[in-house]
Amino acid sequence: MSSAKFASEMKALKKNTMIGVKVDNRDVLVANLNGKIVALDNKCTHMRCRVSTGSLENGVVECPCHGSKFDLLTGEVKQGPATKPLSKYDVVIEEQRIMVGI
């Protein structure tokens, strides 16, 4: 497991928010969905835009470039033009620190 060094404590990531971070030189989206922390690839599978700069609503992130939508729990495409899901990463919380498995 690699540590997402952006937040020393889980409380730094408020409920229903997301942030883009670098973990082992990978661009990762980390989100807090009503207290559940999830991590996905932060590059849209359509044109590689950073999805963390898009909008988050009801557990779905919308890519700001062309409007692809992805389920944050599974990475599944909910709306194109993207056709491939976002890769999902394991998350472990250790002593309130968010750890992302790369």
CATH of the domain at 78: 2.102.10.10
Domain that holds residue 81: 2-101
92 phi and psi, to 5 degrees? -130, 140
**Confidence check: pLDDT of 58 > 90:** yes
How far apart (Å, rounded) are the C-alpha atoms in residues 84 and 77?
7
Structure confidence at residue 76 (pLDDT): 97
Give the N- to C-terminal CA distance of the chain in Å, as an integer.
6
pTM exceeds 0.85: yes
Q: What is the mean pLDDT of residues 17-23?
A: 90
Report the amino acid identity of residue 65. C
Selected residue with higher pLDDT from 85 and 47: 85
pLDDT, tens only, 77-101 = 999 999 999 999 998 887 777 878 7
Assess whether pLDDT exceeds 60 at residue 4.
no
State the DSSP string of the chain. Answer: -EE-TT-SSGGGS-TTEEEEEEETTEEEEEEEETTEEEEEESB-TTT--BGGGSEEETTEEE-TTT--EEETTT--EEESS--SPPPEEEEEEETTEEEEE-
Number of domains in the chain: 1
pLDDT band with cut points at 50, 70 and 90 for residue 12 = confident
